[in-house]
Amino acid sequence: MKILVPVKRVIDYNVKPRVKLDGTGVDLANVKMSMNPFDEIAVEEAIRLKEKGVATEIVAVSIGVAKAQETLRTALAMGADRAILVQTDDEVEPLAVAKILKAIVDEEQPGLVILGKQAIDDDSNQTGQMLAALTGRPQGTFANKLEVEGDAATVTREVDGGLETVKLALPAIITTDLRLNEPRYASLPNIMKAKSKPLANKTPADYGVDTAARLQTLKVSEPPKRSAGVKVADVDELVAKLKSMGVAA
Ligand code: AMP
């Protein structure tokens, strides 16, 4: 079985984003970029399925600027077999990403597509669900456990108030949640090996997808600054303050 893993190049999760002075977006100049953390979890899960003998090939795909190649090389160094870069300088919204992925699914026919539950730059949490709708494949979102047996996948999902387990007929779409696994680091020999793994260069036009924006960002602003805290002398004063705020009985 082939597994397709879409990986997005995003601002590194350790970086504190700076909003552009004109409020049109986040300043990406000279900012460290990395693979979206939920996509690292997706790559790791695909590798584990390959190590168990369930998967035979892992194809990583990224839609974005030329430098998204680095993100794909990271996926290859972790253990993906080949990669597809769908290169564009446009900012590609989840619907256009899902349409491109649908075209790749039609071409590659993967048994599983494992995406992140959300990209930490736009926090859309839409692409996996849209891809499931466009392909008509069953979806197991927010996966915290994934088991594949025969032609079915059992997914334990993180839902409000607990866990839900669903069984999906393959081929299917999965999105990863934080506790699914802990991704491995690529070893130096594997980073070297990844340089010679195949990486195909494509464009959205190759898949007949128009990436023109359908959403207009009106304004991006910093979150309000937190006001300074107050030091209390002792527990009694703390309890009295909490009571006056209606927090403690
Ligand atoms: P989102 O719906 O934007 O929050 O993204 C959810 C998931 O879709 C991500 O974790 C990725 O697996 C995938 N994805 C979104 N945008 C891209 C992209 N430009 N290239 C590759 N994968 C993407």
Q: Spell out the SS3 assignment of 51-97.
A: HCCCCCEEEEEEEECCCHHHHHHHHHHHCCCEEEEEECCCCCCHHHH
Choose the residue to mutate in 8, 71, 121, 178 for probing ligand 1, maximizing ligand atoms within 8 Å of C-beta. 8
> Taking the model in full, what pTM does it have?
0.92
Cα 118 to ligand 1 centroid, rounded to whole Å? 6
Q: Whose CA is nearest to atom 10 of ligand 1?
A: 116
Q: What is the pLDDT of residue 246?
A: 80
* CATH of the domain spanning 2-223: 3.40.50.620
Residues in the chain: 249
Cα 23 to ligand 1 centroid, rounded to whole Å? 24
Domain ranges of the chain: 2-223
Q: Whose CA is nearest to atom 16 of ligand 1?
A: 8
Mean pLDDT of all residues belonging to the chain? 96
Cα 24 to ligand 1 centroid, rounded to whole Å? 21
Q: How far apart are CA 110 and CA 100, in angstroms?
A: 14
Residue 247 has pLDDT above 80, yes or no: no
Name 168's Cβ contacts closer than 8 Å, sequence gap at least 6.
138, 139, 140, 152, 153, 154, 155
Q: How far apart are CA 133 and CA 127, in angstroms?
A: 10
Q: Provide residues with CB under 6 Å of ligand 1.
A: 6-8, 36, 38-39, 62-64, 92, 94, 97, 115-116, 118-119, 122, 124-128
pLDDT digits (tens, 9 = 90+) for 152-163: 999 999 999 999
Residue 128 has pLDDT above 70, yes or no: yes
Alpha-carbon distances of 91 from 94, 100, 214, rounded to whole Å = 10, 14, 11
Residue range 176-193: mean pLDDT, rounded: 97
Q: How far is CA 29 from the centre of its chain?
A: 22
Q: Whose CA is nearest to atom 19 of ligand 1?
A: 63
Cβ neighbours around 168 below 10 Å, total = 21
pLDDT digits (tens, 9 = 90+) for 185-204: 999 999 999 999 999 999 99
pLDDT digits (tens, 9 = 90+) for 216-239: 999 999 888 888 888 999 999 999
Cα 232 to ligand 1 centroid, rounded to whole Å? 46
Q: What is the DSSP letter of 15?
A: S
pLDDT digits (tens, 9 = 90+) for 89-116: 999 999 999 999 999 999 999 999 999 9
Residue 249 has pLDDT above 70, yes or no: no
Q: How far apart are CA 126 and CA 208, in angstroms?
A: 21
Alpha-carbon distances of 8 from 17, 37, 190, 238, rounded to whole Å = 17, 9, 21, 46
Residue range 44-65: mean pLDDT, rounded: 98
Q: How far apart are CA 173 and CA 134, in angstroms?
A: 11
Residue 100 phi, psi dihedral angles, 5° rounding: -65, -45
Q: What is the pLDDT of residue 230?
A: 87
Instruction: Confirm if 105 and 61 have CB atoms less than 8 A apart.
Output: no
% pLDDT > 70, the chain: 99
Residue range 234-249: mean pLDDT, rounded: 87
Nearest to 164 by CA among 148, 140, 182, 181: 140
Cα 85 to ligand 1 centroid, rounded to whole Å? 13
Residue range 205-226: mean pLDDT, rounded: 93
Q: How confident is the model at residue 85 (pLDDT cuts 50, 70, 90)?
A: very high
DSSP β-ladder status, 172-176 and 57-64? unpaired
